[in-house]
Structure 1
Amino acid sequence: MEGTAVDVFQISPSHSWIYPTVILCLFGFFSMLKPSEPFLIPYLSGPDKNLTSAEITNEIFPVWTYSYLVLLLPVFILTDYIRYKPVIVLQGISFIVTWLLLLFGQGVKAMQAVEFFYGMVSATEVAYYAYIYSVVSPEHYQRVSGCCRSVTLVAYTAASVLAQLLVSLANLSYFYLNVITLASVSVAFLVSLSLPMPKKSMFFHANPSKEAPPKPPGKDAFLEGPPKDQGPVCQGLFTISGNLDDDQLSSPKPGNVALRAFVQWFQDLKECYSSKRLFYWSLWWAFSTAGFNQVLNYVQILWDYKAPSSQNSSIYNGAVEAIGTFGGAVAAFAVGYVKVNWDLLGELALGIFSVVNSGSLFLMHYAANIWACYAGYLIFKSSYMLLITIAVFQIAVNLGVERYALVFGINTFIALVIQTIITVIVVDPRGLNLPVSIQFLVYGSYFAFIAGIFLMRSIYIICSAICQNEVQSSAGSQNPDGPHSEHLEGPRKVTMGTRL
């Protein structure tokens, strides 16, 4: 009997990933099942709220950007410290408050409060993807992450299709779309209460007695951690000062743990961004995500400008969002089967598709027809989702879980800072206060600037690779008995740098 009990105790942890994964996927599904979102602007500008386009554009929507920026870093730190679940629950509460205010609040101030709480929703989203790393074993990371991301995509597409059917066929009021959304996010909140509380986290509550998850072969030397005789990688969080004795390591003071975690974050970021390859992928990620979020935030206002709902125009926002999300998902899935030397041609792809993004935004600006505007948005969204998938992989391929979360968190923060600057200059009444049609001319020019940077850099990389290949070929032909020349396959992955 004792042997059986021991076997059960040893086997059960290997299956413990199933329950939290199912609960987390349910939370993700219901939190993203929001049929009201594709028709938010017609709802706000319609008889329910009777807000003007200028009030929505210049006074209400910027509050989301500002609140998201203010809340992101504190929430990012707090998420790891209090071990994820409380932040997921807080996100569920913020969802409910957002839609209660959206349903029953009136006036600009109430809608600004809506945007503040939705900023809280956005800031706490980091806990959804970070939670799983604290409750499942490393061999399940990829499977569980895929499930969590896929279910949110399915939910968003389903909600957009449902919204379009209810509006076009059942002639349902936008108010009741928000009622359905409130019911859905309320279910998400109740589901979040069932999540098991993690016993550890990636930074503040890391367990130095356990080995870090194994990394695939062929990664950069300094990211593979210290030599085996120096102990596990995760002990780095507790040994960076170099002067701590074993008693301090076994029971460190909370203040010391926090300080060591912050210093470790700084050192990790310094090492990661010292790689030119990772730096430029992160740069594109931050700048493009800022532009993408800005377009996403104001595109419905542009659609309403091109085909005002007050003139009883047929509105197909839900169908467009569904097609755009599905098309982006297909493009992102297909990229996994494309064999490309991303080291050599990756930045060329970033430049070319940034040109596509810029062109689609110019189309949305200049097109008088709403269908042309819809087409531009579909191209823009699919192109971005394709490229962000490549960028995510290129950044994450050489990073452990801790650095993956940290780099992505910093990239998100930088993107938000850039978006805030754009909002202050372009949208805010204290800035240029541009009308929405002119805004999209600015956004198109913004992506053209990004395209120019990466096209010039890609030309430099390709020319350097060709010259280096010629030099190596020449050296090999002059000294056939000497050391073998390396075949050039693009910039070497050792560009991640050496240990500082």
Structure 2
Amino acid sequence: MEAVKRWKSDWRYPTTLLCIYGFFSTVKPLEPFLLPYLTGPDKNLTTEQVNNQIFPVWTYSYLCVLVPVFLLTDWLRYKPVVVFQCVMLFTTTALLRWTESVAAMQAMQFCYGVVTASEVAYFSYIYSVVDLKRYRRATSYSRSVQLLGYTTGSVLGQLLVSFNLMSYYNILVFTLVLTAVALVTSCFLPMPQQSMFFHRKHPGETPAPEGTEGHRDGPVDANTSVEMMRDEQTESKVEIHEESNGTESCSRVIRILWRDFRLCYSSRQLLYWSVWWAMATCGYNQTVNYVQVLWEHVEPSQNFSIYNGGVEAASNLLSAATSYGIGFTEVRWEQWGELALGGFSGLGAAALFLMTFSGNIWVCYGSYVIFKCLYMLLITIAMFQIAADLSMERYALVFGANNLGALVLQTVITSVVVDSGGLGLDIITQFIIYSSYFSAISVVFSLRGLFSIWRAQRKTKEKRIVADGTECPPCEEHRL
């Protein structure tokens, strides 16, 4: 009995349960074959209905619930939202299994948008129940298990479909069983006693991270700095007063979030990386969401033994290997990072163009794997560059703000380009737009990267001149 109590109080207990939940909630064998299922004899929907009426609902619902779910996650202390996420995932699969109309499939996509928005609870839960020194290991375990779940689901789905071991209906029943295992596991998760914002263990002001008081490539404007200091002093007094009364007001949390938001994005370097994050994630999500429609256009599933599951599994594994390997490279990303963002985004655009104009399904598959690996490589670099000088609370804020920006852009593109209420363009035209979109990102960040390198070399040259004592650097008087 004593051993059980010790096990439950150890950091491995919640981490193990969360990993079990993460694995079983991400094994989705039918996901790579969703379009053939919806357009096949089981549902009898047209590709245009799926592309222009059903899939866009996910984007809209995700945007609508993202901010409320983010705040509720912290206020409810994570576990209830994790359980709710699994309930909504169960509902999504049930609707997919037992309903057929366009309206029912739109409701299914809405539920899945709630599931996606609730992932913030999964990734935040672990930080409230383990010590700071365990963050890296716990994060590594929870993220790796999710990737393993996605890969297992893709491989399993490919095997079940290729060898006709299960019908699509039976695969969905099997998925419901896996989701039920995840739901039961989530109920055993220990309830956290603290959270990042509403239920702090040591309430009060979070110390400002290094690198956010000033730009990495220049000082913050003096007026802005003074204004922020005044805001922080005023807010600190209000927080101390509220804490002395034992209150946890929503207004205080919003003030903290707004203050931290201004402090974080006062760094121009962080701002540039965040802009790329939002823009590239928007394009990546659009590509991943509609790539099955493109594959169906290039090679209809009734005429070809599709390998969508194998392609997804390969892309996940190669993306994981790429993301893991980038951690061992010795590159000054603060200097070369923006040029890398531009260059690799250009390669991603080329892969998308190749995928769009090639009539060969294998070329489409290969181009998709390359595109996904390039995005995962760059988003990994962006994540650790942004997180380098931020506390956990501020990283969560920046992560959420960047994803919200991506989602806003994605909603605009979806409503104009994809939705039947907008232009309702065909899939080839859509992917031409996505390819051009990444080309524009590539041009902007390549130019910005070249400018950053030129400026860094110029500063180095000026310092060398000063050190040699041969010439003074160009100062304001000489410039005037």
Kindly indicate whether the alpha-carbon contact (under 8 Å) linking 1:88 and 1:124 is maintained by their aligned counterparts in 2. yes
Distance 1:196 1:129 in 2: 15
Correspondence for 1:452 among 443, 459, 462: 443
Kindly indicate whether the alpha-carbon contact (under 8 Å) linking 2:352 and 2:435 is maintained by their aligned counterparts in 1. yes
Kindly indicate whether the alpha-carbon contact (under 8 Å) linking 1:268 and 1:403 is maintained by their aligned counterparts in 2. yes
Do residues 364 (structure 1) and 355 (structure 2) align? yes
Pairing 1:464-483 to 2, within 5 Å after superposition: 464-478=455-469
What is the DSSP-based 3-state SS (H/G/I as helix, E as strand, rest coil) of the residue aligned with 2:420? coil
Equivalent in the alignment of 1:342: 333
Equivalent in the alignment of 1:494: none
Distance 2:238 2:172 in 1: 55
Shift of 1:468: 1.2
Shift of 1:288: 0.6
Equivalent in the alignment of 2:301: 309
Pairing 1:281-320 to 2, within 5 Å after superposition: 281-311=273-303, 313-320=304-311
Kindly indicate whether the alpha-carbon contact (under 8 Å) linking 1:138 and 1:213 is maintained by their aligned counterparts in 2. no
Supply the AA of the counterpart residue of 2:95.
L
Shift of 1:425: 1.2
Kindly indicate whether the alpha-carbon contact (under 8 Å) linking 1:238 and 1:260 is maintained by their aligned counterparts in 2. no
Do residues 62 (structure 1) and 59 (structure 2) align? no
Pairing 1:207-222 to 2, within 5 Å after superposition: 207-208=201-202, 219-220=210-211, 222=213
What is the DSSP-based 3-state SS (H/G/I as helix, E as strand, rest coil) of the residue aligned with 1:459? helix
Equivalent in the alignment of 1:488: none
Q: Which runs of 5+ in 2 are unaligned?
A: 215-230, 473-480
Distance 1:370 1:93 in 2: 36
Distance 2:427 2:244 in 1: 58
Supply the AA of the counterpart residue of 1:473.
R
Pairing 1:187-206 to 2, within 5 Å after superposition: 187-206=181-200
Kindly indicate whether the alpha-carbon contact (under 8 Å) linking 1:43 and 1:175 is maintained by their aligned counterparts in 2. no
Correspondence for 1:266 among 258, 263, 282: 258
Do residues 96 (structure 1) and 90 (structure 2) align? yes
Supply the AA of the counterpart residue of 2:433.
V
Distance 1:391 1:198 in 2: 30
TM-score (norm 1): 0.87
Q: Which runs of 5+ in 1 are unaligned?
A: 224-236, 483-500
Equivalent in the alignment of 1:403: 394
Supply the AA of the counterpart residue of 2:355.
M
Supply the AA of the counterpart residue of 1:349.
A
Distance 2:233 2:130 in 1: 25
Supply the AA of the counterpart residue of 1:153.
L
Supply the AA of the counterpart residue of 2:168.
Y
Kindly indicate whether the alpha-carbon contact (under 8 Å) linking 1:158 and 1:322 is maintained by their aligned counterparts in 2. yes
Shift of 1:207: 2.0
Do residues 424 (structure 1) and 418 (structure 2) align? no
Moved more, 385-394 or 168-177: 168-177
What is the DSSP-based 3-state SS (H/G/I as helix, E as strand, rest coil) of the residue aligned with 2:235? coil
Equivalent in the alignment of 2:218: none
Equivalent in the alignment of 1:127: 121
Do residues 29 (structure 1) and 20 (structure 2) align? no
Do residues 76 (structure 1) and 67 (structure 2) align? no
Correspondence for 1:140 among 112, 134, 155: 134
1:107/1:245 CA distance change after superposition, 3 Å:
closer
Supply the AA of the counterpart residue of 1:314.
S
Moved more, 27-36 or 200-209: 200-209
Shift of 1:431: 1.6
Pairing 1:11-50 to 2, within 5 Å after superposition: 16-50=10-44
Kindly indicate whether the alpha-carbon contact (under 8 Å) linking 2:278 and 2:403 is maintained by their aligned counterparts in 1. yes
Kindly indicate whether the alpha-carbon contact (under 8 Å) linking 1:34 and 1:180 is maintained by their aligned counterparts in 2. no
Equivalent in the alignment of 1:374: 365
What is the DSSP-based 3-state SS (H/G/I as helix, E as strand, rest coil) of the residue aligned with 1:337? coil
Distance 2:149 2:239 in 1: 51
- Once the two structures are aligned, what percentage of the paired residues are identical? 47
Moved more, 172-181 or 89-98: 172-181
What is the DSSP-based 3-state SS (H/G/I as helix, E as strand, rest coil) of the residue aligned with 1:241? helix
Instruction: Indicate the RMSD between aligned Cα atoms, in angstroms.
Output: 2.6
Supply the AA of the counterpart residue of 1:252.
G
Equivalent in the alignment of 1:241: 235
Distance 1:426 1:248 in 2: 48
Supply the AA of the counterpart residue of 1:357.
G
| Cα deviation code 1:81-133 (max 9, x no counterpart) | 11111100100100110010000001101100100000010111100001111
Kindly indicate whether the alpha-carbon contact (under 8 Å) linking 2:29 and 2:153 is maintained by their aligned counterparts in 1. yes
| Cα deviation code 1:129-178 (max 9, x no counterpart) | 01111111101011000000000001111111111111112353222222
What is the DSSP-based 3-state SS (H/G/I as helix, E as strand, rest coil) of the residue aligned with 2:447? helix
TM-score (norm 2): 0.90
Distance 1:28 1:346 in 2: 32
How many residues in Structure 1 have an aligned counterpart in Structure 2? 456
Shift of 1:415: 0.6
Moved more, 177-186 or 381-390: 177-186
Shift of 1:13: 9.9
Distance 1:266 1:77 in 2: 13
Correspondence for 1:415 among 406, 417, 427: 406
Shift of 1:262: 0.6
Kindly indicate whether the alpha-carbon contact (under 8 Å) linking 2:54 and 2:106 is maintained by their aligned counterparts in 1. yes
